[in-house]
Structure 1
Amino acid sequence: MAKTKGNGVFHRLYVGTGAFDIIGKRKRWYLIFGLILLVCIGSIGFKGFNLGIDFVGGTKIQMPVSSSAGEIQVSAVKESFTKAIGKEPTAVQSVGTGGNATIQIRSETLNVDQVTKLKTELNTDLKPTGGIQTISDSAVSASWGGEITTKALIALIVFLIAVAIFLALYFELSMALAALIAVLHDVLITAGVYSLVGFEVSPATVIGLLTILGFSLYDTVVVFDKVKENTRGILGLTRRTYGEAANLAVNQTLMRSINTSLIALLPVLGLLVIGVGFLGVGTLKDLALVQLTGIFIGALSSIYIATPAAVDLKMRDAKYRAQAARVLARRESLAKKAAAGHVTDDAPDGVESGDDRALDAEIRKEKAYAAAAGVPSRTPKATDLRRGRPTGKKQR
């Protein structure tokens, strides 16, 4: 029973001994995420985005949520708008709470006569507090949304260049390219989700899209740092290939990635539930939805895209392919000796054995930490520590 418990999924996640073959099955992950990416790109290309009024321009009407008959309902506003203009509004939402609550109506651009007729209809049907004077209108230019998009694209390009330079200097070029692939993957899938489900793209969506880039990069850097540690001096070793050492690194950081993602998702879910469910703020909804999608996809890409891509790019180097061939040749030799009944440990030099022993010792230490986490502390009490020590008093 204890053995079964120790071999459980959660135990293997916590200890991180390389039990999950993520790198070895990377073609499977490429296929899965590649299909998702194709669907998202196809949706962006054929369906496009549901652009908000800030990007396409239009008219915004704002009025109090309170009236002489009580609180004004969003459905009643839509009905009154349709009766006045002859078509449904683009969006109607209640914003704020208490005495500061208002109703915002967004529609395509309306002329002066249409705005006047709409205000009269809203005042007659809904009787907002303060009368027709409290119903305001404003025109939104599409150029403002275009400026936001342009600046966001510039920020994205600068961000990617800075990231590539930093990772190339701190790690190496193959990891920098793999990280950029993962970041672009996250952006495209998040944008594709918005296109598929028809979420309205607002300036808050663009801001949220930029914020998830940092999270995606952070998770990737954590994994890459462990890969760098596990593969140090690997060209002189014949116990593990570069891909196997990278897979061990992914396993060692897997639980950390899961915990980090869950902790990051909790406030975003709170923003979505509180901001939309209770406060009814549409801007919070746009911000929360893009972050929820981006954080989830970013966590997956750091595990299933970034590190496997780094391994594939690294294995293009002939030195690493030759090292992998030596590993396989050594294993075949050990298998033959084991079949013949000979000793299987034939480490060619002390450096290799020492490095492998250090890595194995690190794994054993992590197992010990995991086992100690479920054992009560056995730190001796102060009285126990003093027991048996000389007190300085003369014995009689």
Structure 2
Amino acid sequence: MPSFSQLGNDLYTGRRGLDVMRTRRTWYVVASLLVGLSVVLLLTKGLNAGIEFRGGSEFRVSNVTTTSQDPAEAAVRSVVPDGEPPRISTVGDNAVRVQTEQLSQQQTDAVAKALAEGYGVPAGSVTDSFVGPSWGKDVTTNALTGLGIFVVLAAVVLALYFRTWKMSVAALVALVHDVVITAGVYSLSGFEVTPATVIGFLTILGYSLYDTVVVFDKIRENTEHVLSSSSKTFAEAANLAVNQTLVRSINTSVVALLPVASILFIGALLLGAGTLRDISLALFVGIMAGTYSSVFLAPPLYVQMREREPDIARQRDKVLARRSGSAEPTTGSTAAVAAGVASDGGEATSGGTATAVLERPSTGRTPRPPSGGQRSQPRRPGGRRR
């Protein structure tokens, strides 16, 4: 079995590789299924918006001896029995966070006192804060505005850098793919969407865009003079570029995923750090989705759009016609005729066409007699031989 370095060398030279362009329908189906499932989750289950977006009151109880949610549930219900169900989560090993709808100052003081009594801690161990609905609305608007500005600037920069809008469109489709799938995972897991999550979203968009630009830059290099080539089509040159950058994409993704995975599984799930969990899940899912889209989605989509151009189509037809023609035998080859000549002076064939072997023309001279023989000479008058 070849080593990873040997595999990378084989992919770069083209001795082996994935035929991403020919199997692009398979990659399209996989991406469509993931995006479709994410959209269904977002429409049915929705996102668990954090208190920064929806507004409300938050209580944090520290130095508790138990992290059970029952005391928190009972404390909130004793003050606002008809309110929205509280959102209770554990922070570390000795703290509980309780989020409710926005309460009045009197209700806030009553809930804080009930939480201290329920968990058996001093009143100073309970802290409270609140976020108004207008502030939460502003945060939501600013987050969506930031995402929109990022997408527009990315599209303009890509179009100017690669001097074609088709690469820009393919890269934007990959970005939408990454964002929708990441949002779907948040909906499925029930993790809160906080400002830290928005930061994670912007980070994965930048990472995915960077990975896509690297692949596109190699595609541009390989296809720069493809119209004058008679050995490779545009799709084949682009496919070689994808394989040449495949190992780099895998290595970069693995190196990026290792610290993110440690933040997600150790810092968030074991230590209970909520902010780390919010941003690390977005990074973890987004990096994997971005690696997939930059290799299996954006390049095939770009090639498919370029193959509709008349020049690219004519060059492809020329290369394919040349290949089919070169497979046919060639007739009239002098070397083939000479190789096919029979030893008895028969006929030679080349490519299935019979070619007669012509005899050497006669010079009109009398053949020399065998060695040792004599020719009779006519006598001259006088009896002497001439």
Asked whether the two chains share a fold, i.e. TM above 0.5, the reply is: yes
Match of 2:103 among 110, 128, 131: 110
Query: 2:102–2:132: 8 Å Cα contact kept in structure 1?
Result: no
1:280 aligns with 2:272: yes
Instruction: Give the match for residue 21 of structure 1.
Output: 19
Aligned with 2:20: secondary structure? Answer: coil
Write out aligned runs for 1:1-396 (5 A): 5-6=1-2, 11-16=6-11, 17=14, 18-66=16-64, 71-75=65-69, 77-78=71-72, 80-81=74-75, 84-85=78-79, 86=81, 89-94=86-91, 102-128=95-121, 131-171=122-162, 172-337=164-329
Aligned with 2:297: secondary structure? Answer: helix
Using the TM superposition, give the Cα deviation of residue 186 of structure 1 relative to its aligned residue in structure 2, in angstroms: 0.8
Give per-residue Cα distances to partners, 1:282-303, cap 9 Å, x unaligned: 1110110111010000000001
Give per-residue Cα distances to partners, 1:219-264, cap 9 Å, x unaligned: 1111111111111110011111111111111111111100100000
Query: 2:69–2:88: 8 Å Cα contact kept in structure 1?
Result: no
Using the TM superposition, give the Cα deviation of residue 82 of structure 1 relative to its aligned residue in structure 2, in angstroms: 5.7
Q: How many residues align?
A: 328
Q: Distance in 2 between matches of 1:342 and 1:324?
A: 33
Using the TM superposition, give the Cα deviation of residue 102 of structure 1 relative to its aligned residue in structure 2, in angstroms: 4.7
Backbone CA RMSD of aligned residues: 2.7
Q: Distance in 2 between matches of 1:155 and 1:331?
A: 51
Using the TM superposition, give the Cα deviation of residue 137 of structure 1 relative to its aligned residue in structure 2, in angstroms: 2.2
Query: 2:38–2:180: 8 Å Cα contact kept in structure 1?
Result: yes
Relative distance call for 1:339 and 1:245 in structure 2 (3 A) is farther
Q: Distance in 2 between matches of 1:224 and 1:270?
A: 31
Using the TM superposition, give the Cα deviation of residue 324 of structure 1 relative to its aligned residue in structure 2, in angstroms: 0.5
Query: 2:116–2:125: 8 Å Cα contact kept in structure 1?
Result: no
Q: Distance in 1 between matches of 2:183 and 2:143?
A: 14
Relative distance call for 1:266 and 1:14 in structure 2 (3 A) is farther
Give per-residue Cα distances to partners, 1:64-111, cap 9 Å, x unaligned: 225xxxx3424464354366355852123325x8xxx75432122334
5+ long unaligned stretches in structure 1: 344-396
Query: 2:73–2:86: 8 Å Cα contact kept in structure 1?
Result: no
Aligned with 1:24: secondary structure? Answer: coil
Sequence identity of aligned pairs in percent?
40
Instruction: Give the match for residue 367 of structure 2.
Output: none
Give per-residue Cα distances to partners, 1:37-72, cap 9 Å, x unaligned: 112122222322121222222111123225xxxx34
Most deviating of 160-169 and 297-306:
160-169
Relative distance call for 1:147 and 1:79 in structure 2 (3 A) is closer
Q: Which has the higher helix share?
A: 1
Query: 1:53–1:142: 8 Å Cα contact kept in structure 2?
Result: no
Aligned-partner residue type, residue 145 of structure 1: G
Query: 2:10–2:17: 8 Å Cα contact kept in structure 1?
Result: no
Aligned-partner residue type, residue 285 of structure 1: R
Relative distance call for 1:13 and 1:113 in structure 2 (3 A) is same
Aligned-partner residue type, residue 253 of structure 1: T
Aligned with 1:337: secondary structure? Answer: coil
Query: 1:65–1:94: 8 Å Cα contact kept in structure 2?
Result: no
Q: Distance in 2 between matches of 1:302 and 1:149?
A: 29
Q: Distance in 2 between matches of 1:277 and 1:323?
A: 55
Using the TM superposition, give the Cα deviation of residue 158 of structure 1 relative to its aligned residue in structure 2, in angstroms: 1.9
Most deviating of 109-118 and 25-34:
109-118
Aligned with 2:46: secondary structure? Answer: coil
Query: 2:196–2:278: 8 Å Cα contact kept in structure 1?
Result: yes
Instruction: Give the TM-score normalised by structure 2.
Output: 0.77
Query: 2:216–2:299: 8 Å Cα contact kept in structure 1?
Result: yes
Most deviating of 104-113 and 303-312:
104-113
Aligned with 1:138: secondary structure? Answer: strand
Q: Distance in 1 between matches of 2:256 and 2:165?
A: 29
